Amino acid sequence: MKYFVGIDLGTTNSAISTFDGENVRVWKSKKDQNDVTPSAIYVDKRGRRFYGKEAYLKSFQQPERCATLFKRFMGTSTKIKIGDEELTPEECSAEILRELFKNLPEEIRENKDEVGTIITVPAAFNQMQNAATLDAAKQAGLGKVALMQEPVAAIMRVMKDNQSNGNFLIFDLGGGTLDVAIAERISGKVNFLAHGGIAMCGGRDFDRILMNEFVAPWLKEKYSLPKDWSAQPKYKKLRSFSTYMTELAKIELSSDEHVKIEGETGIEDEHGEEIYLDVTINRAAYDRAIAEPLIKAIEMLRETIKKSGLTANDIDKIIFIGGPTNYKPLRDKVVSEVGIPGSIEVNPMTAVSEGAAIFAESVDWNSQEHERKATREQTKRDEALGLSFRYESRTPGDKAKIATVLAAQVKGYTFEISSIESGWISDVIALKNNAVVTVPLHKRGENKFVVKVYDNTGSDVRFENDTITIVKTFANVGALLASHSIGLEVKERIGSNVSRLDYLIREGDTLPAKGQRKFRSAQKVRAGSSDSINFKMWEGEIEDNIEDNRFIGQMKISGEDFDFGAIIEGTEIICNYTIDEAGSVTLDVEIPSIAESFNSGKNFYSRSEGQLNLDDVAGKLNYEGQNLLERVRDLGKAVEDDNDYEKLQQAGEVASTALSANQQAHDREELQHIVDDIQDAKKKLNEIRRNNLHVIREQELEQLKDYYDEKIKKFASPQETAQFEKLFAKAESLIERPDSAFENILQEVRYRNYDVLAKSDEFIVVDFVRLTENPYAYDDRESFEKVFEAGKKAIEQEDIVALRKVVNMLWFLKGRQDDDVSAANIVRA
Amino acid sequence: MADLKNPFQVLNLSVYDTKTAINERADELSFESPDDEEIIEQARNILLNPRKRIAAEVYAFAEKGIFTKGNILEDIALIDKNFFAQDADELREKINTARLKSKFPAVQDTADIKAELTNIRYEIREKIQDGLKDMTRDGRVKVAGDLAWTIGNGGDFGIIVEDFFECYRLEMNPFFETIRKELIALTTKIKFNANEKFIEDLDSKLAEFGDAIKPLNKISMAIGTNKFHETEDIFYGVRSTAIDLHNEQDLIDEPLRITRILEKHFYYLPTLQEKIRQDIKDLEELQKNHLSPNGVKAADVLTEILDTMDKRLHFENDGYEQSNMDFYKNEFKLRHEPALLRAMSLSGFKPDELKTLNTLVYFIYIKMGKALTWTTPSESAFNSIHEMFKKALFYAEASSDAESISNARKMFEDWKDVGKNISTQKDSTQQTPDNSSSSSNEGAGCFTVIVFAVIGTLIGGPIGGAIGVYIAAKISENK
């Protein structure tokens, strides 16, 4: 491989760089000679396409013909409209990648087989977004491509100029995302300790805030505009022009105390008055406006420090990267909040692409999975002498070790090693197995050495593979870290309705990873039947409330997948998994009892399942908001700690925003924000539950006991009463247990409550009424109607036996639809 | 940690070693042992990461009693106790003391330590599962039984014990599934023929199942959930057989016997005690008041059989072999078989009478089978013939008549593999393996009369001769 390319595919701007083993070069955009190329596409009326700055400038004049910010929608099924065309976010990204590639010199572009490209992605990107980025690269036809997290690339760039040991924190605030990474350098070796990020937090969000807090109110005050003007097509141009001018003003604030957002818009208001923008903003007002997202960013930074196992005192400096960090008050705020000195030692706009190019050099592009090059190698053995050399092939140090490997002892032989470039020569050393020579490395990049062997007469002994190449790197990077935890959903026990995540990899674990898990089937599947064993995979850290994580894919082994036998409950399932450096998961499932193996394919992730369409998401958000609100209310009864209470309030706010989500009133970015906020709120609620588990469990148990005393006890037989008391005592003893044993017992009590109540004829009538209140709750309406009629008849005829049968049938109908046929049905062996 | 050896062991370092020491050792080892580079690098990455190394540190400081080197299944109760004794705060303190020396930042909270303890739990569980998998079924039952006994006697237990029983359930499920099927087959047999042998078989199968399931039922009782669904499925299946025997066949002794067997194996289960007690009480009451059946009742049943036979049983080949065959297959099944079986199962019959009736049915099947050999050879014809001889053998065995058994077995064996060839021999329509049963279709009706007349003579016994003559006369009269 000759050329190593790094691409920072940004939300607002992208950049491309190359590395030749010694030097990094940023390739400017062809047309305007800028280091960065705006990630924008413009299609004119004739269908001609423009990219970069040209396209970006058109975005406020003809927003309907431009595509910008599409990176924010990667991994969703949202369509991007450009004029009459509809593109996917991946297609838009592919066009930008192709355009960036054009910035490279011809000899690189025309030698794609000799090019290895690293494209960076935010650390906060989930697997869907990563997969979409790889798709974009494939569509762009870039050749050999691998992904890497942006902050890791930034660290590579920092290490190029900085040779001192210590812990570094990268704060990369880009146009659309925030990435934070912590790495440690010890003697040229870089180990990643932790990383994190927020997918919807960047300069673009600051622009929106300025627009919403200053420009939009000013426009409303000065001109006659409808309440929802920004959602109306008539004012689309006004909105994009204002946004553009606001962004320029924000950049100016980096150097000026006051800035003006002004200019002719060419748009008339409702009374036909031409709108002229003239808004003044000062730094203090801007600081106040961006305080909230900045606090979120600082929270993420603190969280990442915690994940690394370090404290702020252990970190030497924060290195700022990304356009918005050009604003000094922002840097000052971050520095003062976390108490770590700041640094602006690298170009904030190009550091990521430069680092990616440096990283590209360390990749073995000939390997299938684009693994990293080995840091130790061995030369091919010379058959005559039985001699080969083991050596450090890549090191950031000034010296490297070379050791002899001899198949059999030789007597009287000696050898020496000399540097081809510098003329350095070792002593003459007796040739024996494992004779170690330390050689100096005079320059970065390749250092070549030649080995000479002499026999007992002092004559040269010719042998094959006598040349050794050692690469002196800027830094040797340790293993990459998984950005998210990934786990398979497993049932606690056969027959239990409680599931948990069995993690294949935890956030922060090193990549690549492989291993084996043994499971048992929790369901019977006969050959030829449509039943299946389901492996459901989730991404996230929430172990006990699985559905609060992000669903990322499913593998099914159906009865139709094998010809003979049956998988019965308890059948052993052996699952071998591999997770590559990009985080792609492959499963190989072996079921010895039916002598069959199944493979999940190259990548486990199912992008079609779980993809959101932001043009049709409001209903789902309203539903999620409602659920969230109920959970907030429930938790509110148990929370006493101020910190938890604050988190609860934040979750409550997210819930109410989600409840009011509206496809017309919110644009896609706002909806995406809500989606991410809901995910974040769920995480917080689970944290609160964990923090207050004892109190919450006590309350749940108390409530259940009260209910039992009031409503159940009088109907229970002495035997049942004794049983209830035993269960309550057991639940009490399980309050401290970290697993879900407590919840299982409570569930058992609830089932028994029903059984006791169901002995009473009155309860059966009440239950019938309750179960038939909402016919829409039944998917099988036809069956429901039949059963409902039978129930009414039974009541008319006062036939309680028949009514009981009806109630049982209604539960059956309800249960049948609640039974998710795709539910995970494996237990950990 | 589950997928990697303890990184401290890999690098031969202690929890007190510094980052520099870790790096130097890792460099040194991976240069010396290139084959182990991957595992060495993994160990280095874990130990240099202040958060990830917690896993290794927990291993170093955790109560050693949870990492048994011997047979894990012998120490479940002890491991459970030791695991329960782990205290995350205490472990954190020990880790932080070591970190003062190793110069790693102190662990701030116990969440990661707790997560690691959970991982250790899963590792123990995996070992338990593997241990059980390698044992014989009897061995598993013994280990589980012993542990359940300890718990049943008031022993405290925690999550490891619960995991053990879950592993046991997983390992035993295939056995439970098999025995469930066997019990279904056996109770079906008993419903048709509640003889002593079948009931004894039921007793021994239930004993086998009962021993295996008891530990699981005991732990469920100890937890307080009282969930016995595997046992209840079996219990209610067997109980319903007993109820059917009484309701449909007017039997009392056999249902009572079966209920006593259920009592023997499952009375310890609180959810079943009341039902067992009540069933026994009811059946004993019935037994006291039951009148001895008389021959008139048996004769009534036999009359019914013979009437049915008289009206339905025709061996003439009217040219439609297929429909003839269907007749034998379906009509006999629907009409004659249940009638005879009801007759045989009447409590009032004496053992030798039962023997007679079993022999009678054997004769009917053997002759039906032979008659069918006259039809055009085809796969379905073969299946029907084979089915007749199989049933003949079944009833011959129930009659304990050596000659009948030998004859039936011979026919069954002779015809077992004929189907494979028969489809290729369509032209020779009246072939039998030894041609001994060849006969013309015209002779079928007469043959039947002779058969039944002979039956009586052959069987003998108190009612045997009468039955034979009676059947023969009836058929003859109708002809």
Question: CB within 8 A of A728, min separation 6: which ones?
Answer: A701, A704, A705, A708, A749
The residue of chain B with its CA nearest to that of A307 is B51
Q: Which of A186, A508, A569 sits opposite B52 (nearest CB)?
A: A508
Residue B376, pLDDT score: 60
pLDDT band per the 50, 70, 90 thresholds, residue A829 = confident
Q: Residue A242 pLDDT more than 80? A: yes
- State phi, psi for B314 to the nearest 5 degrees: -130, 130
- ∠ CA A413-A419-A425 to the nearest 5 degrees? 55
Contacts of B113 in chain A (CB under 8 A): none
Q: How many Cβ pairs closer than 8 A exist between chain A and B? A: 125
A550 and B CB contact within 8 Å: no
Cα–Cα distance, B255 to B264 (Å, whole number) = 14
Contacts of B107 in chain A (CB under 8 A): 309
User: Do the domains at A1-162+345-362 and A166-341 have one common CATH topology?
Assistant: yes
Expressed in angstroms, the distance from the first to the final Cα of chain B is 87
CB atoms within 10 A of CB A790: 16
> Which of residues B380 and A534 earns the better pLDDT score?
A534
Among A499-503, A753-757, B446-450, the least confident range:
B446-450
pLDDT band per the 50, 70, 90 thresholds, residue B328 = low
The residue of chain B with its CA nearest to that of A188 is B23
Q: A392, B129: Cβ pair inside 8 Å?
A: no
CA distance A730 to chain B (A): 7
In CATH, the number for domain A482-599 is 2.60.34.10
Cα–Cα distance, A197 to A322 (Å, whole number) = 14
Q: What share of chain B in percent tops pLDDT 90? A: 28
Tokens representing A182 are: 């912590």
Q: Which of A516, A520, A828 sits opposite B122 (nearest CB)?
A: A828
Q: A403, B224: Cβ pair inside 8 Å?
A: no
Task: Give A316-369 pLDDT, tens digit per residue.
Answer: 999 999 999 999 999 999 999 999 999 998 999 999 999 999 999 999 998 877
Task: Give A564-603 pLDDT, tens digit per residue.
Answer: 888 988 899 999 998 887 777 888 999 999 988 988 765 5
Q: Residue B475 pLDDT more than 60? A: no
CA distance A193 to chain B (A): 6
Among A749-758, B297-306, B375-384, B461-470, the least confident range:
B461-470
Task: Give B30-54 pLDDT, tens digit per residue.
Answer: 888 888 888 998 899 889 988 889 9
Contacts of A575 in chain B (CB under 8 A): none
Residue B377, pLDDT score: 64
Contacts of A478 in chain B (CB under 8 A): 41, 44-45, 48
Q: B173, A378: Cβ pair inside 8 Å?
A: no
Residue B51, pLDDT score: 86
Q: Which of A376, A509, A520 sits opposite B30 (nearest CB)?
A: A376
Which of A594, A723, A724, A746 would best serve as a mutation to test chain B binding (most B beta carbons within 10 A)? A723
Task: Give A602-626 pLDDT, tens digit per residue.
Answer: 555 555 555 678 888 888 899 889 9
Residue B292, pLDDT score: 44
A497 and B CB contact within 8 Å: no
Task: Give B208-264 pLDDT, tens digit per residue.
Answer: 999 999 999 998 888 888 888 889 999 999 999 999 998 888 888 899 999 999 999
Q: Residue A390 pLDDT more than 90? A: yes
Tell me the CATH number of domain A166-341, given options 1.20.120.430, 3.30.420.40, 3.40.50.300, 3.40.366.10.
Answer: 3.30.420.40
Q: B224, A493: Cβ pair inside 8 Å?
A: no
CA distance B434 to chain A (A): 38
Question: CB within 8 A of A343, min separation 6: which ones?
Answer: A317, A318, A319, A320
Most confident of A381-385, A477-481, B90-94: B90-94
Partner B, chain A 592-611, Cβ-Cβ below 8 Å: 593
Q: B48, A191: Cβ pair inside 8 Å?
A: yes
The residue of chain B with its CA nearest to that of A726 is B224
Tokens representing A731 are: 């639940």
Q: What share of chain A in percent tops pLDDT 90? A: 47
Contacts of B224 in chain A (CB under 8 A): 723, 726-727, 729-730, 745, 748
The conformation of residue A288, written as its DSSP 8-state character, comes to: H
Q: Residue A98 pLDDT more than 60? A: yes
Most confident of A5-14, A458-467, B188-197, B436-445: A5-14
Task: Give B413-436 pLDDT, tens digit per residue.
Answer: 887 766 555 444 433 333 333 333
Summary mean pLDDT of chain A: 89
Residue B445, pLDDT score: 28
Q: Residue A821 pLDDT more than 70? A: no
Among A446-460, B246-260, B316-330, B347-361, the least confident range:
B316-330
Instruction: Classify each residue of A361-399 as buried b or exposed e, where b means 16 or more C-beta atoms within 10 Å of its C-beta.
Output: bbbebeeeebbbbebbbebebbeebebbbbbbbbbbbee
Residue A355, pLDDT score: 94
Level-2 CATH architecture, domain A376-472: Sandwich (2.60)
Q: If 0-12 CB within 10 Å is exposed, 13-18 middle and 19+ buried, where does residue A14 land?
A: buried
Cα–Cα distance, A572 to A128 (Å, whole number) = 31
A279: number of CA atoms within 13 Å, CB side? Answer: 27
Contacts of A392 in chain B (CB under 8 A): 31
Partner B, chain A 138-197, Cβ-Cβ below 8 Å: 184, 186-187, 189, 191, 193-194
Which of B51, B107, B156 would best serve as a mutation to test chain A binding (most A beta carbons within 10 A)? B51
Residue A356, pLDDT score: 96
Torsional class of B12: left (φ above 0), alpha (ψ -120 to 50), beta (otherwise): left
Please report, for chain A, the start and end positions of each structural domain, with discontinuous segments joined by +.
1-162+345-362, 166-341, 376-472, 482-599, 614-691, 698-828
Contacts of B159 in chain A (CB under 8 A): 737, 739, 741
Encoded amino acid at A66, one letter:
C
Expressed in angstroms, the distance from the first to the final Cα of chain A is 46
Q: What share of chain B in percent tops pLDDT 70? A: 68
Rounded-to-10 torsion of CA A307, A310, A314, A317: 0
A571 and B CB contact within 8 Å: yes
**CATH fold for domain A1-162+345-362:** Nucleotidyltransferase; domain 5 (3.30.420)
pLDDT band per the 50, 70, 90 thresholds, residue B438 = very low
Task: Give A123-176 pLDDT, tens digit per residue.
Answer: 878 878 888 999 999 999 988 999 988 988 998 898 888 778 899 999 999 988
CA distance B320 to chain A (A): 37
A309 and B CB contact within 8 Å: yes
Residue B353, pLDDT score: 57
| Dihedral sign of CA atoms B271, B276, B281, B283 in order | positive
pLDDT band per the 50, 70, 90 thresholds, residue A118 = very high
Q: A186, B225: Cβ pair inside 8 Å?
A: no
Q: Which of A187, A510, A737 sits opposite B45 (nearest CB)?
A: A510
Contacts of B50 in chain A (CB under 8 A): 193, 308-310
Task: Give B250-296 pLDDT, tens digit per residue.
Answer: 888 899 999 999 999 999 998 888 889 999 998 888 877 654 444 44
Q: Residue B441 pLDDT more than 60? A: no
Summary mean pLDDT of chain B: 75
Task: Give B107-141 pLDDT, tens digit per residue.
Answer: 988 888 888 888 888 888 888 998 999 999 999 99
A702: number of CA atoms within 13 Å, CB side? Answer: 8
Among A41-45, B66-70, B291-295, B460-464, the least confident range:
B460-464
For A400, the 3-state DSSP assignment is strand
Residue A25, pLDDT score: 95
Q: Residue B87 pLDDT more than 70? A: yes
Rounded-to-10 torsion of CA A98, A102, A105, A106: 80
Q: B105, A311: Cβ pair inside 8 Å?
A: yes
Task: Give B146-182 pLDDT, tens digit per residue.
Answer: 998 887 666 678 889 989 999 999 999 989 989 999 9
A576 DSSP β-pair partners: A516, A588
Q: Residue A515 pLDDT more than 80? A: yes
User: Judging by DSSP bridges, how do beta strands A144-149 and A115-121 pair with one another?
Assistant: parallel
**Mean pLDDT to the nearest integer, A779-793:** 88
pLDDT band per the 50, 70, 90 thresholds, residue A448 = very high
Q: Residue A276 pLDDT more than 90? A: yes
Q: Are A783 and A813 in contact (CB under 8 A)?
A: yes
A562 DSSP β-pair partners: none
Q: Are B43 and B10 in contact (CB under 8 A)?
A: yes
Contacts of A307 in chain B (CB under 8 A): 51
Global pTM reads 0.73
Residue A816, pLDDT score: 55
Contacts of A314 in chain B (CB under 8 A): 105
Q: Residue B323 pLDDT more than 70? A: no
